[in-house]
Structure 1
Amino acid sequence: MSKHTLIGGGTGFIGSHLAKHLAQKGYEVTVVSRMPGLKRITWHEIEKNGIPNNVNSVVNATGQNVLDPSRRWTPGFQQNVWNSRVNSAKTLANAIQASPQITTFVNLCGVSLYRPSDTKVYTEQDEGEDYDYMSRLCLAWEAAARGGNASSDQCRSAIVRTGAVVGRDGGMIKGIWLPFKLGLGGPMGTGEQIMPWIHMHDLCSLIQHIIEKRETGVFNGVAPEIVSNKGFSQIFAASLNRPCLFNVPEFVVKAIFGEERAALLLSGAKIQPKRTLSSGFQFKYPSVKSAVNEVVGN
């Protein structure tokens, strides 16, 4: 049987890496994009004509970059962030209903629905709760992914709740690379907040694992090692042979990103990938040290 995956958001940081990863594993890949092109299909075409008949798995990695410091946290930008996630999940879930050849639908979501706690360690059995903008976004995102496509013998539906994705050319690492390289990098706020994270290779491999095993339900896309923002910062600085001396004050983070977005950097929950591990998946980069050493090239 041919392996052909449709990736929503396939030109973004995660989506482009996933497309390359799956292509190296023998998959044919088609990307959903706003612009037409080779091996691309537009969102308008999905809504009008449905999913191509030769596609048998779908991954949604769509989402406006929330932590883009060049974008002010205006009501309009908030709506873009919301719509890019919720509407894309809804569009693909509805299209899958009319596509009996689809065997797996994987939707990437966030971990902000887990309320930060000094004592609680969350697993996939925890549903999360509504306590701020980011948590409400995550809950609506998951509801949209489930809305048109309850798992069945025809199509197995899975949700991957991802932490901060560690990769050299995008996401958090791209944002902090220069200050850390200059020896000016450090923790956000107090640095005591937990920072759920996963290496890009492991996230792509987990998605492949879910597709091939036809897994269903929720999976925490976070590495097994629980670390604070300060701990991560110290290990990253050490991998670059740089000091880690300067904390970025909380008021500065809030001034740059706005209070609702700053919550992504200044708070975090303790999360374990219990179901991810019990499914048989093995992390290549289970520790921060192994992950940042790969990114830095050590």
Structure 2
Amino acid sequence: MRVLVGGGTGFVGGALTQLLRSRGHEVTHVSRRPGPDRISWDEVARSGLPLCDAVVNLAGENVLNPFRRWDDAFRRVVVASRVETTKTLAKAIAEAKRPPRAWVLVTGVGYYRPSPTAEYTEESPGGDFDFFSRLVSTWEAAAKIPGDSTRQAVVRSGVVLGKGGGAVAQMLWPFRLALGGPMGSGFQPFPWIHIRDVAGIVCHALEMEGVCGVLNGVSPASPGTSNAEFAWELGSALGRPAVLPLPGWMVRGIFGAERAVMLLEGQRVVPKRTLESGYCFVYPNLSSALRDVVS
């Protein structure tokens, strides 16, 4: 299978590329930077889709970059990096003389309203209550293409845990120095997934002809995981205590009130359709996932 991956040179994209190639698939990246096995976004917009069997979009500016102030300019970058790249690929797919068989978009569980008690499956409502939920709605709407010649799927990912990047990369040093702990109250749900399983779900959606629609990209154990439990498990994996909470006011001071919601609140998300589709998680529980990440 020839797979075109937008944003495939990032953290999740690297894991997906490795997994796809290990399964015998050819991968070409759509990227801003030149390099082997790459084409530019301008080239796709100008000349259309290269011949391929499947398309994935992972592109998106890091929302939780602590070095970027959360202002209108950065909000526009966050939106454009997701919505405009998705529109570019969707338009190219719709206009292709030989359209690909599958089209997969990776978005986020920010679609669902934060709640300490409600559980959300892929059929649950959302997407209309704050900046991030509306962003996911707009993002997913941009991916829709007419007709049924190309099978379409959306993976709503939780917090991605993996080596060398993602959420854990920013947390490791405080925890290694015994300065780690929960954020805010620690009671908020923590929707997580190992990077191998994000890549695995995308591959599953590409390879399995019957898979379409929304798939929640979270671990089966995620609905029962709180931020405090995550902190305790990470400390345990590192052999360090995890008892120093990061106060909510400090999180809001670093990231701004709107972004801080992503860290101080959370959703209990269930991968119901993901499991029903036949996907088997490599890291279904938190302790094994974190042991792999810190090994």
Q: Which range, TM-score by smaller chain? A: over 0.9
Give the drift of 1:94.
0.8
Contact 1:189 1:247 in 2 (8 A): yes
Q: CA deviation at 1:20?
A: 1.5
Contact 2:127 2:136 in 1 (8 A): no
Give the alignment partner of residue 150 of structure 2, picking from 151, 155, 162: 155
* Structure 2 Cα separation of the partners of residues 118 and 14 of structure 1: 28
The residue that corresponds to 1:200 in the other structure is: 195
Matches of 1:115 and 1:94, distance apart in 2: 30
Aligned residue pairs: how many?
A: 291
Distance 1:150 1:7 in 2: 21
Q: Do the aligned residues in 1 keep the contact of 2:115 with 2:265 (CA within 8 Å)?
A: no
Name segments (4+ residues, structure 1) moved above 3 Å: none
**What is aligned with 1:16?**
14
1:92 paired with 2:89, answer yes
TM-aligned CA deviation for residue 168 of structure 1: 1.2
Matched with 1:48 is 46
In the alignment, the residues of structure 2 paired with residue 263 and residue 286 of structure 1 have an alpha-carbon distance, to the nearest angstrom, of 26
Per the normalisation by structure 2, the TM-score is 0.96
2:78 counterpart (51, 76, 81):
81
Partner of 1:122: 120
Report the Cα distance in structure 1 between the residues aligned to 2:293 and 2:111, rounded to whole angstroms.
28
Structure 1: segments with no counterpart, 5+ residues: none
Find 1:171's aligned residue among 166, 175, 181: 166
> CA separation in 2, counterparts of 1:219 and 1:80?
26
Change (3 A) 1:32 1:292: same
> Within the alignment, does 1:30 sit opposite 2:25 as a pair?
no
Whole-Å Cα distance in 1 between the matches of residues 114 and 59 of structure 2?
Answer: 25
Unaligned runs of 5+ residues in structure 2 are none
- Alpha-carbon separation, structure 2, partners of 1:279 and 1:289: 25
**1 CA distance for matches of 2:294 and 2:79?**
33
> What is the RMSD of the two structures over their aligned residues, measured on CA atoms?
1.0
Contact in 2 for aligned 1:224/1:273 (Cα 8 Å): yes
Cα distance in 2 for residues equivalent to 1:127 and 1:92:
26
Counterpart in the other structure of 2:219: 223
| Structure 1 Cα separation of the partners of residues 233 and 147 of structure 2 | 41
TM-score (norm 1): 0.95
Does the aligned pair in 2 maintain the 1:96–1:102 contact within 8 Å? yes
Offset from partner CA, 1:114-171 (integer Å, 9 cap, x none): 112233210001131311111111111111112xx1461x210000000000001111
Q: Take 2:87 and 2:124, find their aligned partners in 1: how far apart are those partners?
A: 23
- Asked whether the equivalents of residues 116 and 189 of structure 2 are also in contact (C-alpha less than 8 Å), the reply is no
CA-CA distance at 1:294 after TM superposition:
0.9
Of all paired residues, the percent bearing the same amino acid is 46
